[in-house]
A and B are shown apart, each in its own frame.
Chain A
Amino acid sequence: MLVPRPIALAILSLLFATSLRAAPIEADPHELYDEARIHLRNGELGSADASLRRLRSILSQGSQWDPDGVFANELLPPLLKKLRRMQVVTGQLDAFSERALKDLTPPEISSEASTLRPYTEWATSTIQRLRSERDQIIASRLADPEEQAAVTRTASYARTERILETDVMRSLADSSANAAPVRATEDPGIDPVSVRFRQLKRDLMRLMMERDRLEQEAKQTNAGEKAYLHALAVLVTEGSLDEVQSGSLQPTAISKVFGEFLDQELEAARSLTSQSSQEREARQEALDRYRRYNAVLTRAKLGTDQSRRIQALSRAVEDCPVKDGLLVTSRAARWLYGLLTSVLALVAGISSWMAIARGRKLSPARRSDEPEEPVIEAVFPRRKVGGNAA
Chain B
Amino acid sequence: MKARLHPLRFRCLVLTAAVLSSCATVERQPTLTFEQHTLRIPLTVAANGSVSLAQQPPMTGRIDLSPILDEERNEASVPFKTVQVMMFYGRYYVVADGFRSVWELTPRPGTSTASYRKIPVPLESGESALTGCRLSRYGPSQSSCLRLDRKGTDPIFISARGEVSHACP
Contact = CB atoms under 8 A, between A and B. Distances in A.
Contact of A64 (B40, B132, B134, B139): B139
Interface string B140-151: 111010000111
A64 B39 contact: no
Contact of B144 (A21, A67, A268): A67
B138 A67 contact: yes
Nearest to A33: B39
Contacts, number: 38
Given A64-B168, A67-B141, A68-B35, A22 B152 contact: yes
Contacts of B141: 67-69
Contacts of A30: 39-40, 136
Nearest to B81: A242
Contacts of B139: 64, 67
B140 A267 contact: no
A25 B140 contact: no
Interface residues of B, number: 22
A65 B149 contact: no
A264 interface: yes
Nearest to B139: A64
B152 to A, nearest CB: 6
The binding surface of chain B is classed by DSSP as loop
B168 A28 contact: no
B137 interface: yes
A65 B138 contact: yes
Contacts of B40: 30
Contacts of B35: 68
B34 to A, nearest CB: 12
B47 A264 contact: yes
A21 B47 contact: no
Contacts of B47: 264, 267-268
14 contacts: A21-B152, A21-B153, A25-B132, A25-B150, A28-B136, A28-B149, A30-B39, A64-B140, A65-B138, A67-B137, A67-B138, A67-B139, A67-B141, A267-B48
Given A28-B149, A64-B138, A67-B137, 13 more contacts: A25-B134, A25-B151, A30-B136, A64-B140, A65-B136, A67-B138, A67-B140, A68-B35, A68-B141, A68-B144, A264-B47, A267-B47, A268-B47
Interface of A: 20-22, 25-26, 28, 30, 64-65, 67-69, 264, 267-268
Interface of B: 35, 39-40, 47-48, 132, 134, 136-142, 144, 149-154, 168
